[in-house]
Amino acid sequence: MGGGSAGRRVVVLPAYNAARTLEETLRRLPKIAEVLLVDDASQDGTAALARRLGISVRTHEKNSGYGANQKSCYRWAMELGADQILMLHPDLQYPPEQVPALFDLLDQVDIAMGSRFLGGDPRKGGMPDYKFWSNRLLTGFQNRLLHAQLSEYHCGFRAYRVEGLQRLPWQNYPNDFLFDNQLLVDALRLGIPIGELPIPTHYGPESSSISAQKAVMYGLGVVAGTLRARLHSARS
């Protein structure tokens, strides 16, 4: 239900070919929590660099996907007794400087999210038009069907209170990019408190992205998952 003392905070970095941006990510990250990195079989020496930079690392033997990486991150943080877990992408798409503020939002809610749309027009930060409009269409669709008022569903800058995360069947979620959206859909369905924090948008050549084909499949998956949740709610 949100609130309470912070307890043990852990920042997790789900990494794939992040060697170019990892050092700057860590330099800009306030030293307020333990940092764990899970490397999803990168080909650019990400894991070795992370170890040289002094953070704890686990690796996947083969590339397993963004959702699978998160699962490894959250299991590891929970093994260490984390009370709050914050996911930060190490590609500098999201601002490391705002990690403390996102953690602090967990004093009020169980899930804290960055929002590029509360922070102004994300196209000024380099968000491509097709991403902007697909985000607006999918967010409007999901808000309408789920009776919610989130400013967006597709930001990967997130923090969780572990007791809230444990109410969700996250280990059963897809191993791809649909992981994030499925988690939010279930959280809304279960009434888990969600808060949003305005963040600036940054899209650069180093920012991770998915192919056009995968983006279409993601959009179709979002629609299908939302419809399933609406049908489940209608039957219950």
Q: Per-residue pLDDT tens for 3-14?
A: 545 799 999 999
* Model pLDDT, residue 227: 95
Alpha-helical (H) ranges within 169-211 are 178-190
* Model pLDDT, residue 84: 98
* Model pLDDT, residue 207: 60
Region label for 80, one of left (φ > 0), alpha (ψ between -120 and 50) or beta (otherwise): alpha
CB 32 within 8 A of CB 44: no
- Residues (pLDDT < 70) of the chain are 1-5, 204-210, 234-236
Return mean pLDDT, the chain.
Answer: 93
Give 188-214 pLDDT, tens digit per residue: 999 999 999 999 988 766 666 667 778
Global pTM exceeds 0.85: yes
* Model pLDDT, residue 151: 97
Q: What is the CA radius of gyration of the chain?
A: 17
Structural domains in the chain plus CATH codes: 9-235 (3.90.550.10)
